[in-house]
Amino acid sequence: MNNRNIYMVIFLLIFMAACVTPYYPNITKYENLYVVDGQITNLKGPYEVKLSKTFKYDGSTGSKVTGDPVTGAEVKIIENTGLEVQLKEIKSGVYSTVDTTFRGVSGKSYKVQIKVNDQVFESDFETIKTPAPIDKLYWEYKPQDSDGPNRVQVLLDTHDPTNSTRYYAWEYEETWKFRVPIQVTDEPDWYICYKSDSSSFLKLGSTIQKNSDIISRQSLKSIDESSNRLYFRYTILAKQYSLTEQTYKYFDDLISLNQNQGSLFDATPYSLVGNVKNVNDKDLPVLGYFVVAGVSEKRIFIDRTELPEEFNPTDGFSDCSTEMVPVPTTLTDFRQNNKVDSLMRYGYAIYEKYPTDLIQFGYPVSTPGWELFLAKPYCFNCTLTGVSKVPYFWTEK
């Protein structure tokens, strides 16, 4: 490349850089808005409404990702029949129904009303759709391919013979059994536990472009060998929401906003306003959504014995090891032993000790002592990451 071409390239680079003008939007009016997150369905309650306020985020000063809770509000769910059900604040910013007899009914309409200070917020009445049933919840094994490693995929089929649902959303709750590699003699409840997790976002689906209201092979969850979920036994509870068109569009837009970030061709970010309005000032937006939806559920279990032999999930404890340290009984603090102290600094803890004669460990004369067994606590106490009580819905194969 000659000098003339080099200068031309440098000029183009400078010109292109000069065309990029930083844009600093004025978002001060969005820094103190109310955010409503709640729902009512045909399933048994209690129903919760979370109330918070937006805040100014400065990535250089912290990693705060949740809004400031709003306490002391008066919250109620109102049915179109005139029934009003009060919600009680059960923790900061979280309000829950306490009437155990109250339950949403398909075909009836509901709204939320919130009073805080001098402000009143209300959603419009929305009707709980009759929930479409989950026809089938099942799993399939997929060997390693271009889409990923060896994995188990959880799928579902559903349909509405009346062709009236059309807008769907799914989430799930999962629970699995696990066992720590080290069993403590005096702590039987530390050996086997159950751990639970839930989906962090809704999956959406629509049949609005189809002749029939049928959805097949909807992917719900994929589990590969890097997880210990399928090491013993696993269960997943699928929840299927029958949404209104308005609710579906809100969550579809929300997902698009969260996923499409950072590209030059992404849609311009905007404030996504939900179905709750400020009665006192209709020009002041309220964020979040009060969901009114019909919900159906289905649960399946997956046992390790049902999986192909080539599927080898981790037990989740590959880095666990045991250390044995002999110490004399005269030690008033076991950390006076250098090795014990070093292991504890590294996160180890004593889980067993047995009386012994230290002569077998090189002491010149018979000396009473202890054999101390140490490991990292999560390797011998499953209750640090799970619960030892068997869940009420759990069944063994």
Task: Check whether 217 has a pLDDT greater than 60.
Answer: yes
The pLDDT value recorded for residue 265 is: 45
Distances (CA, A) of 379 to 126, 215, 250, 312: 50, 43, 44, 20
The pLDDT value recorded for residue 260 is: 58
Q: Of 39-53, 150-164, 277-291, which gets the smallest average pLDDT?
A: 277-291
Average pLDDT over residues 191-215: 96
Task: Check whether 378 has a pLDDT greater than 50.
Answer: yes
Task: Check whether 112 has a pLDDT greater than 60.
Answer: yes
Q: What is the pLDDT of residues 39-84, one digit of tens each?
A: 999 999 999 999 999 876 555 555 555 678 999 999 999 999 999 9
Task: Check whether 30 has a pLDDT greater than 70.
Answer: no
Task: Check whether 1 has a pLDDT greater than 70.
Answer: no
The pLDDT value recorded for residue 187 is: 97
Q: What is the pLDDT of residues 300-316, one digit of tens each?
A: 999 999 999 999 999 99
Percent residues over pLDDT 90 in the chain: 81
Buried b (16+ CB within 10 A) or exposed e, 110-142: bbbbbebeeeebbbeebebbbbbebeebebeeb
The pLDDT value recorded for residue 256 is: 87
Q: pLDDT-derived band of residue 261, with 50, 70 and 90 as boundaries?
A: low
Q: pLDDT-derived band of residue 12, with 50, 70 and 90 as boundaries?
A: low
Bridging pattern class, strands 34-41 and 287-303: parallel
Average pLDDT over residues 279-289: 90
The pLDDT value recorded for residue 35 is: 94
Task: Check whether 342 has a pLDDT greater than 50.
Answer: yes
Sorted by sequence, the CB contacts under 8 Å of residue 195 that are 6+ apart come out as: 175, 176, 178, 385, 386, 387
Q: Which residues pair with 196 in a beta bridge?
A: 175
Cα three-residue angle 370-373-375, rounded to 5 degrees: 155
Q: pLDDT-derived band of residue 23, with 50, 70 and 90 as boundaries?
A: very low
Q: What is the 3-state secondary structure (H, E, C) of the chain?
A: CCHHHHHHHHHHHHHHHHCCCCCCCCCHHHCCCEEEEEEEECCECCCEEEEEECCCCCCCCCCCCCCEECCCCEEEEEECCCCEEEEEEEECCEEEECCCCCECCCCCEEEEEEEECCEEEEECCEECCCCCCEEEEEEEEECCECCECCEEEEEEEEECCCCCCCEEEEEEEEEEEEECCCCCCCCHHHCEEEEEEECCCCEEEECCCCCCCEEEEEEEEEEECCCCCCCCEEEEEEEEEECCHHHHHHHHHHHHHHHCCCCCCCCCCCCCECCEEECCCCCCCCEEEEEEEEEEEEEEEEEHHHCCCCCCCCCCCCCCCCEEEEEECCCCCHHHCHHHHHHHHCCCEEEEEEEEEHHHHCCCCCCEEEEEEEECHHHCCHHHCCECCCCCCCCCC
Q: pLDDT-derived band of residue 269, with 50, 70 and 90 as boundaries?
A: low
Higher-scoring residue by pLDDT: 18, 37:
37
Specify the length of the chain in residues.
397
Percent residues over pLDDT 70 in the chain: 86
Domain limits of the chain? 323-375
The pLDDT value recorded for residue 67 is: 73
Average pLDDT over residues 109-128: 96
- 8 Å CB contact between 183 and 237: no
Task: Check whether 163 has a pLDDT greater than 90.
Answer: yes
Q: pLDDT-derived band of residue 273, with 50, 70 and 90 as boundaries?
A: confident
- How far is it, in rounded angstroms, from Cα 3 to Cα 181? 69
Q: pLDDT-derived band of residue 350, with 50, 70 and 90 as boundaries?
A: very high
Task: Check whether 4 has a pLDDT greater than 90.
Answer: no
As a whole number of Å, the end-to-end CA separation of the chain is 73
Give the global pTM.
0.85
- For the chain, what is the mean pLDDT? 90
Sorted by sequence, the CB contacts under 8 Å of residue 74 that are 6+ apart come out as: 86, 114, 115, 116
Average pLDDT over residues 257-284: 72
Average pLDDT over residues 147-151: 95
The pLDDT value recorded for residue 264 is: 46
Higher-scoring residue by pLDDT: 143, 7:
143
